[in-house]
Chains A and B, each alone.
Chain A
Amino acid sequence: MMPFAQLRHRLWHGLVDHIDVPLMIVAVVLMGIGLASVYSATYDSNNRFFAQAMNMGVALAVMWSVAQIPPQKLMRFAIPLYIAGVILLILVMLFGVTVNGSRRWLSVGFTRIQPSELMKIAMPLLLAWYFHKYETMIRMRHFALAAVLLAVPFLLIAKQPDLGTALLVGASGFYVIFLAGLPWKIMFGLIAIGSAAAPFAWTLLHDYQRRRILTLFDPTSDPLGAGYHIIQSTIAIGSGGPFGKGWLSGTQTHLEFIPEKHTDFIFAVFSEEWGLAGNLFLLFTYLFLVGRGLMIAANAPTLFSRLLAGAITLIFFTYAFVNMGMVSGILPVVGVPLPFVSYGGTALLTLFVGMGILMSIQTHRMLVKK
């Protein structure tokens, strides 16, 4: 028989060995902010507090499980996950369920899944694996093929249409390519071509997407429609002032002026009640998260883990920037949640899988060194 102390010791280590403490602290802080805001946004009608707490519990368990998988094993999932993701996206295109005019969901008997979420992990995983495989001889054609591998899911998702997710998936792949050393010349060339092609891309956008961009410049042009979101959320943020109106006291929130207030626009709720001080705290928390993630990337032992950690971290950053940018009225409204804060099980799950991968990369590195 094992002595009790030894058993406890083993259990404890089994539980925490692959948890990165700084990341865990950030996650707990952000989840706290999320729960407080979800409660404030929904307690007076359809309270989502407990549902979100449940989501977080599930997501944490998944994160813990992912953190146990060593990066070498993660590599093996790269191709199957990517292929499964693309197939599911094609199935969505063919048989998907249409919600609010977008075909994003796939009905699988008891529930509906959103394959584009899977792609947010599968995309950087595949490209990181790919560059890792050709590590010592990365040439132009590798970048070209990587671009093709990225374009397929990007276009499938953009066609649903779900521009927000398409941009996130596109960014996640681009970050890998960028970190793998895409020559600056090409990057600036692409930017130049991109800006030249912008008028053309404009014609490809859906009308509602165009309207969202136009209303950014003049929200008052469409007070009953798209502009309403931006007008109301900037009023919420601005009236929050330096120190906020206090938790549960946001008038914008509680008089139902903020649309989607517990999901994509939850930042308006937080900002109204906690003010600039709260925003600053949130910005620093995200900054800390990104800093820790990039540190993990910089110190990772293999190219695969470096690229993957870097891309996942930058995706966290992108979520945060795009969401806060759109809610505060400097970016067009696309469906991107505030990471670890917005209500919603699927998005949370994806984020925590990413978190688990970061932890795995960090903690297995230390084990290798030992």
Chain B
Amino acid sequence: MARRHHHDSFHHQDSDLDRFRFRIGVAVALVLITFTLLFARFFWLQVIQHDYYTTRAEGNRISLVPIVPSRGTIVDRNGAVMARNYSAFTLEVTPAKVPDLEASIDALSQLIEIQAKDRKRFKKLMDESKNFESIPLRTRLTDKEVAIIAAHRYRFPGIEVKARLFRQYPQGELASHALGYIGRINDRDIETIRKAEAEANYKGTDHFGKSGLEQKYEFHLHGQTGYEEVEVDAAGRAVRSLARTPPIPGNNLTLTIDTKLQAIVEQAFGERRGALVAIEPSSGGVLALVSTPTFDPNLFVDGIRSDDWEMLNTDPDRPMINRAIYSAYPPGSTFKPYMALAALELGKRTAQQVMADPGYFNFGGHTFMDDKKGGHGPVDMYKSIVQSCNTYYYALANDLGIDNIARFMAPLGFGSRSGIDIEGESEGVLPSQEWKKRRFKRREQQKWYAGETISVGIGQGYNAYTPLQLAQAMAAIANDGVMFRPHLVKHITDSRNGEKTQIEPEPIRTLPLKQQNIDTIKRAMVGVIKEGTGARAFAGAEYEAGGKTGTAQVYSLKGSTYNREKVKSELRDHSIFIAFAPADKPTIALAVLVENGGFGAQSAAPIARMALDYYLLGKKPAGAAVEDSAAGDENE
């Protein structure tokens, strides 16, 4: 046998060749066997089963036409509609079937109105899609237009009128960063569909969630595609319908968002850039997710016009950025309550301990100044929060050290994604020695300097968090350390049986904090509203709230994506405010940030006041044009 040769390197050429030829012989046998197998298969199909397959081929005048299900609707917590569908006739063109596209469109424009923008959008869609797809040329045809086209249909092969469902966002720009939008399916979406094993279900579908909830809950909203068995004639045209498997509509989303609260806040922002996130502490449900400026998601549905797209993308205020979850800002003094809590928990301070504030803090030959000239005098923890005393926190940060700070803050959600149910969240920056090592390449930059810890203590320095993270931490304290994952969808309603699936009803963790310490911090934050930096904004409030002002310096930007040129022209600080209310049993916790809004008490706190006034008392700000349609109790 041939195998002997492997153990014997002194063999002959001839026996080598013989062995090779033997192996060739084996290969020939393999080829003959497999080809015989193929022949047997052909014989089976083409002779024995021939009649059966002939019948099937003749019966194969049946083609399966997918029926796209209607997409699930999205409503707010009170049932106000945020996304729905409407049916409309569209004029669609299949470019591959049209001999002379330009001439046909010109001829069509003699019959019905086809504007330049329609042609432009059609061109754009054509570039993005495959040749044999049918592409809308005109949407929302009137009955008269449908009749005209029908009468002239014989003149236009490859052009037809179809009834289609269109997505509509009746509240326009409201909450667009949470809702997101749908657009035509592209290559990346196809990959997503393939990964989800949903190719068959997307036959015939040509829209896909591109951002926000529309994207995250795409497979819930889409529904189950049905199909119609259609008999076709020899030319492949549909003759009659034989059977129909109806589609199953997509599931409906009920959000935790309160659109009226959302609207009041968006109006309060006006032209200003910024974000607000309000969370129900006892569930993690997001009551409002505001990022201004906003955009109109309706623009994207039929394929966005290039000039609209251009405008959204070149706007210096960058409306497409979701500031609430993507942009990270230094928290400023809103960081102080957490620093104080860390001091209590780690035993570095007691609430009663008093330090003398001379108005500055010296460290390593560098002087860190307090805001108040001459200092706040004797300061205990309560006063340090109420009056926002910097010196107290310079010393505290130095005593704690950066890694203790980082270890304490991380479980509150600082510096990591919250896991909210929309894409595009950023991590922010929770600085630590290890973080700096990862962040910087050069060795000399990797070293952490004790002086850097001191500015971290007052929420400046490398610190940077998203408004969502600020709100999440506030909610955690308000709820006495029991943390929920922030989420926008309250429940998903199955379209078939009305069954509701609750989203995130369980807490993700309970922070091991002493209740006494939490109460100390909460009391101090109530003090801020009553007699401290937030007192003016909350003058005359009919409820007890806790809060903290903050100011984020814009002198340097870490981990942020702003355009440097622009920052230089607008060096005003960002105004921040965090709050919870009512103080004894909080039903809402929030964080507001107004870009270049100056001091926290100046721009952010009044917006927080309006939000709380509405949410707790149903009070609308003077001059607010918020429609009062949806019934129901907001504080359920």
B234 at the interface (CB under 8 A from A): yes
| Chain A positions within 8 Å of B6 at CB level | 138-140, 181, 183
B502 at the interface (CB under 8 A from A): no
- For the complex, give the distance between the alpha carbons of A239 and B59 in Å: 11
- For the complex, give the distance between the alpha carbons of A276 and B46 in Å: 6
| Chain A positions within 8 Å of B64 at CB level | 223-224
A98 at the interface (CB under 8 A from B): yes
Check A294 against B24 for contact (C-beta < 8 Å): yes
- For the complex, give the distance between the alpha carbons of A291 and B24 in Å: 10
B346 at the interface (CB under 8 A from A): no
Check A279 against B23 for contact (C-beta < 8 Å): no
Binds B, one of A33-41, A120-128, A191-199, A252-260: A252-260
| Chain B positions within 8 Å of A236 at CB level | 57
Report B542 CB to chain A, min CB distance, Å. Answer: 58
Q: Find the B residue at minimum CB distance from A140.
A: B6
Q: Are A283 and B39 CB-contacts (below 8 A) given A140-B6, A241-B54?
A: yes
Binds A, one of B135-143, B187-195, B359-367: B187-195
Report B157 CB to chain A, min CB distance, Å. Answer: 12
Residue among A45, A225, A252 making CB contact with B96, cutoff 8 Å: A45
Check A208 against B24 for contact (C-beta < 8 Å): no
| Chain A positions within 8 Å of B61 at CB level | 255
Residue among B31, B47, B194, B195 with the highest chain A CB neighbour number at 10 A: B31
Check B46 against A255 for contact (C-beta < 8 Å): no
Report A200 CB to chain B, min CB distance, Å. Answer: 21
Residue among B28, B42, B50, B52 with the highest chain A CB neighbour number at 10 A: B42
- For the complex, give the distance between the alpha carbons of A306 and B21 in Å: 10
B contact face: mostly helix, strand, loop, or mixed: helix
Residue among A235, A298, A310 making CB contact with B57, cutoff 8 Å: A235
Residue among B20, B31, B43, B200 making CB contact with A290, cutoff 8 Å: B31
Check A184 against B3 for contact (C-beta < 8 Å): yes
A237 at the interface (CB under 8 A from B): yes
Residue among A45, A226, A241, A330 making CB contact with B37, cutoff 8 Å: A330
Report A217 CB to chain B, min CB distance, Å. Answer: 15
| Chain A positions within 8 Å of B37 at CB level | 330
Check A181 against B19 for contact (C-beta < 8 Å): yes
Check A321 against B24 for contact (C-beta < 8 Å): no
Q: Are A239 and B54 CB-contacts (below 8 A) given A45-B96, A208-B194, A297-B24?
A: yes
Contact mask for chain A residues 245-256; partner B; CB cutoff 8 A; 1 contact, 0 none: 000000110011
- For the complex, give the distance between the alpha carbons of A175 and B31 in Å: 13
Check B197 against A207 for contact (C-beta < 8 Å): yes
Q: Are A314 and B191 CB-contacts (below 8 A) given A208-B197, A224-B66, A306-B20?
A: no
B residues 538-595 near A (Cβ < 8 Å) are none
| Chain A positions within 8 Å of B232 at CB level | 255
A residues 170-186 near B (Cβ < 8 Å) are 175, 178-179, 181, 183-185
- For the complex, give the distance between the alpha carbons of A140 and B57 in Å: 55
- For the complex, give the distance between the alpha carbons of A279 and B52 in Å: 19
Residue among A224, A237, A238, A290 with the highest chain B CB neighbour number at 10 A: A238
A234 at the interface (CB under 8 A from B): yes
Check B96 against A183 for contact (C-beta < 8 Å): no
- For the complex, give the distance between the alpha carbons of A236 and B50 in Å: 10
- For the complex, give the distance between the alpha carbons of A294 and B203 in Å: 46
Check A98 against B191 for contact (C-beta < 8 Å): yes
B residues 1-55 near A (Cβ < 8 Å) are 1-3, 5-6, 9, 11, 16, 19-21, 23-24, 27-28, 31-32, 34-35, 37-39, 41-43, 45-47, 49-50, 52-54
B199 at the interface (CB under 8 A from A): yes
| Chain B positions within 8 Å of A137 at CB level | 9
Report B9 CB to chain A, min CB distance, Å. Answer: 4
B60 at the interface (CB under 8 A from A): yes
Check A240 against B38 for contact (C-beta < 8 Å): no
| Chain B positions within 8 Å of A140 at CB level | 6
Check A222 against B200 for contact (C-beta < 8 Å): yes
Contact mask for chain B residues 200-243; partner A; CB cutoff 8 A; 1 contact, 0 none: 10010000000000000000000001010000101010000000
A324 at the interface (CB under 8 A from B): yes
| Chain B positions within 8 Å of A116 at CB level | none
Q: How many interface residues does A have (CB within 8 Å)?
A: 66
B619 at the interface (CB under 8 A from A): no
Q: Are A139 and B96 CB-contacts (below 8 A) given A234-B45, A298-B24, A330-B37?
A: no
Residue among B32, B57, B190 making CB contact with A100, cutoff 8 Å: B190
Residue among A138, A275, A321 making CB contact with B35, cutoff 8 Å: A321
Check B23 against A181 for contact (C-beta < 8 Å): yes
| Chain B positions within 8 Å of A222 at CB level | 200
Check A238 against B46 for contact (C-beta < 8 Å): yes
| Chain A positions within 8 Å of B49 at CB level | 238
Check A101 against B50 for contact (C-beta < 8 Å): no
Check A310 against B42 for contact (C-beta < 8 Å): no
Q: How many interface residues does B have (CB within 8 Å)?
A: 57
B447 at the interface (CB under 8 A from A): no
Check B23 against A328 for contact (C-beta < 8 Å): no
- For the complex, give the distance between the alpha carbons of A178 and B23 in Å: 8
A6 at the interface (CB under 8 A from B): no
Q: Find the B residue at minimum CB distance from A287.
A: B35
Report B6 CB to chain A, min CB distance, Å. Answer: 6
Q: Are A239 and B50 CB-contacts (below 8 A) given A138-B6, A321-B38, A330-B41?
A: yes
Residue among B27, B47, B190 making CB contact with A242, cutoff 8 Å: B47
- For the complex, give the distance between the alpha carbons of A45 and B1 in Å: 59
Check A242 against B57 for contact (C-beta < 8 Å): no
- For the complex, give the distance between the alpha carbons of A179 and B42 in Å: 31
- For the complex, give the distance between the alpha carbons of A271 and B207 in Å: 38
Residue among B19, B54, B203 making CB contact with A224, cutoff 8 Å: B203
Check A224 against B227 for contact (C-beta < 8 Å): yes
A29 at the interface (CB under 8 A from B): no
Check A179 against B31 for contact (C-beta < 8 Å): no
Residue among B19, B53, B225, B227 making CB contact with A235, cutoff 8 Å: B53
- For the complex, give the distance between the alpha carbons of A45 and B203 in Å: 22
| Chain B positions within 8 Å of A225 at CB level | 199-200
Check A242 against B46 for contact (C-beta < 8 Å): yes
- For the complex, give the distance between the alpha carbons of A353 and B81 in Å: 63
Q: Find the B residue at minimum CB distance from A284.
A: B35
Report B10 CB to chain A, min CB distance, Å. Answer: 8
Q: Find the B residue at minimum CB distance from A325.
A: B38
A136 at the interface (CB under 8 A from B): yes
Q: Find the B residue at minimum CB distance from A250.
A: B57
Report B309 CB to chain A, min CB distance, Å. Answer: 23
Check A298 against B191 for contact (C-beta < 8 Å): no
Check A276 against B42 for contact (C-beta < 8 Å): yes
B162 at the interface (CB under 8 A from A): no
| Chain A positions within 8 Å of B24 at CB level | 179, 294, 297-298, 310
B56 at the interface (CB under 8 A from A): yes
Check A255 against B60 for contact (C-beta < 8 Å): yes
| Chain A positions within 8 Å of B50 at CB level | 238-239, 241-242
Q: Find the A residue at minimum CB distance from B11.
A: A136
| Chain A positions within 8 Å of B56 at CB level | 235, 238-239
A–B complex contacts, Cβ < 8 Å, 27 sampled: A45-B96, A46-B96, A101-B195, A136-B11, A139-B9, A179-B27, A181-B5, A181-B23, A232-B60, A239-B50, A239-B53, A239-B54, A239-B58, A241-B50, A252-B60, A255-B60, A276-B42, A276-B46, A279-B42, A283-B35, A287-B32, A287-B35, A294-B24, A298-B20, A303-B20, A310-B20, A321-B34
Which 4 residue pairs spanning A and B have beta carbons closest together?
A238-B53, A225-B200, A239-B57, A238-B45
Name A's B-contacting residues (CB within 8 A): 45-46, 98-101, 135-140, 175, 178-179, 181, 183-185, 207-208, 211, 222-226, 232, 234-242, 251-252, 255-257, 271, 275-276, 279-280, 283, 286-287, 290-291, 294, 297-298, 303, 306, 310, 314, 317, 321, 324-325, 328-330
